[in-house]
Amino acid sequence: MAPVLILLAFLLPLGAHAEEIIGGHEVTPHSRPYMAFVRSLKEDGNRSRCGGFLVQDNFVLTAAHCWGSSMRVTLGAHNIKAHEQSQQIIRVAKAIPHPKYNSENKINDIMLLKLERKAKRSKAVKLLKFPRANARVRPGKKCHVPGWGVTSFNATKASDLLQEAELNIQVDYQCQKHFLHYSETTQICVGDPRKVQLAFKGDSGGPLVCDNRAYGVCARVNKDTTLDVVTKISSFLPWIRRNMKLP
């Protein structure tokens, strides 16, 4: 998969039926300097694209289902098709998926990418902080998911420009109704049925950002219910720190 953003807003003008407006919201260039564009090759030989985010100078966090061969990340990008001077393209030295990741139900869908060299920090390349230990976001909280994914359900081409969707934190029960194997311990339910804003194909691995901290990693989506499931980072902080060899 790759980074994706779907924003569907329902308008109810007087005397009219509800109409759908489909379109992404482009962010100000380089205003999300932690974002990483992740490319790889899948077993079938097809190219894959995902989102990710810089958490240490030589580590990017993404989803485990984004794993592939010949992995590389692009940092400092806004337009991934342009040769922006701010961009840094770095090969992945080692992919570290969570040892208990289940590819069938997407439980423990989180992966660290150790880069071959350290990124050079700049205005366009910065780290995204983790939440504090045991931190949680309450239902109703508005958070954001940036990515380079598709901008409609029927799109065959993903966006070249970094987009962003605003998502509300939902009660766990909403996702328990619609997703098999949903875990309130390791996952967060997000979405907004009134606006139908989703992280969709291509946005996998991107961060759920609340109050300028990464609370989740995009993992699954149900377009029929306009709900996303994200991996809850706070549940994996010991594993992350251990693999990055942080105190």
pLDDT tens digits along 7-28: 333 332 322 222 222 235 789 9
- Higher-confidence position of 222 and 125: 125
Total domain count, the chain: 1
pLDDT value at residue 12: 29
Per-residue confidence band for 4, with pLDDT thresholds at 50, 70 and 90: very low
pLDDT tens digits along 70-112: 999 999 999 999 999 999 999 999 999 999 999 888 899 999 9
Parent domain of 223: 1-247
Whole-angstrom Cα distance, residue 158 to residue 3? 8
Is 65 among the residues known to form the active site?
yes
Instruction: For residue 166, give the CATH number of its domain.
Output: 2.40.10.10
Q: pLDDT at residue 50 above 70?
A: yes
| Reported pTM | 0.86
Q: Which candidate in 203, 204, 228, 234 is catalytic?
A: 204
Q: Tell me the mean pLDDT in the region 206-211.
A: 95
pLDDT value at residue 3: 40
Q: Tell me the mean pLDDT in the region 223-233.
A: 82
Per-residue confidence band for 151, with pLDDT thresholds at 50, 70 and 90: low
Q: Report the chain's C-alpha Rg in angstroms.
A: 17
Q: Which candidate in 40, 78, 98, 109 is catalytic?
A: 109
Q: Tell me the mean pLDDT in the region 138-149.
A: 90
Is 109 among the residues known to form the active site?
yes
pLDDT value at residue 29: 96
Q: pLDDT at residue 156 above 80?
A: no
Q: Tell me the mean pLDDT in the region 160-178.
A: 90
Q: pLDDT at residue 212 above 90?
A: yes
pLDDT value at residue 179: 86
User: Residue written as tokens 């984004």?
Assistant: 66
pLDDT value at residue 19: 23
Is 211 among the residues known to form the active site?
no
Q: Tell me the mean pLDDT in the region 143-152.
A: 78
Whole-angstrom Cα distance, residue 107 to residue 115? 25
pLDDT value at residue 189: 94
Whole-angstrom Cα distance, residue 118 to residue 20? 44
For the chain, how many residues are written? 247
| CA dist list (Å): 70 to 2, 82, 83, 94, 185 | 15, 21, 21, 10, 33
Residue 51 corresponds to which tokens in the numbers above?
Answer: 């989102």
pLDDT value at residue 18: 24
| CA dist list (Å): 142 to 96, 105, 162 | 30, 26, 19
Q: Tell me the mean pLDDT in the region 190-203.
A: 62
Per-residue confidence band for 227, with pLDDT thresholds at 50, 70 and 90: confident
pLDDT value at residue 188: 95
Type and span of the H or E element at 239: helix 237-243
User: For the chain, what percent of residues have pLDDT higher than 90?
Assistant: 58
Q: Which candidate in 40, 48, 65, 144 is catalytic?
A: 65
Side-chain-side CA neighbours of 139 within 13 Å: the count stands at 8
